[in-house]
Amino acid sequence: MLKKTKKPKVSGEEKKSADEGEIIAVANDEAPQSAEEKVPDNPSKDGKKVLVIEDDSMLSSMYKMKLTDAGYQAVIANEGNAGLEAAKKEKPELILLDIMMPMMDGFAVLAELRKDSSLKETPVIIMTNLGTNDDIEKGKKLGATDYVVKADLTPAQIVEKIKKYL
């Protein structure tokens, strides 16, 4: 017979995360949230806001957790049009942008962002699995600040890239 047990509570201790055995601090008395639970927006000390435009909800949740853990305020948009609206409304300091999305792809989103006077200087890091030289060149011509292939970097490495531009 299986017995149901509660997760032990953690207070001010360090806990290993599932990816890379990286150490993260757990600051409250509650057990850490699972990836399926909603992670609330958490403004950083200096107010840095990052918009993640990504149609894969599992990836966007993972990036949101990593960004929040790193002290950033993370805003998520699940497709291109919603991303444009969020960028205009939220005025993020940096945008992480997927390319392959339904309805409006990331290249079209980037072109629109660069037409908007209030967003044209906002750093945009393209995160995609399209790694051909043509795609990289297209992204740079449209005004991408950086271009990363998702499969080549861990979420922690993406956060390090973000720090470089903020």
pTM: 0.72
Does one domain contain both 22 and 77? no
Does one domain contain both 17 and 56? no
Phi, psi of 124 (to 5 degrees): -125, 120
Say what percent of the chain tops pLDDT 90: 65
Does one domain contain both 45 and 117? yes
Does one domain contain both 52 and 85? yes
pLDDT in tens, 43-97: 444 669 999 999 999 999 999 999 999 999 999 999 999 999 999 999 999 999 9
pLDDT in tens, 130-144: 888 899 999 999 999
CATH number at residue 85: 3.40.50.2300
Which residue type is seen at 46? D
Which residue type is seen at 112? E
- What is residue 131's predicted lDDT score, i.e. its pLDDT? 83
Mean pLDDT for 140-153 is: 94
Domain of residue 129 covers: 39-165
Does one domain contain both 26 and 70? no
Instruction: Residue 48: name the closest of 77, 76, 82, 71 by CA.
Output: 71
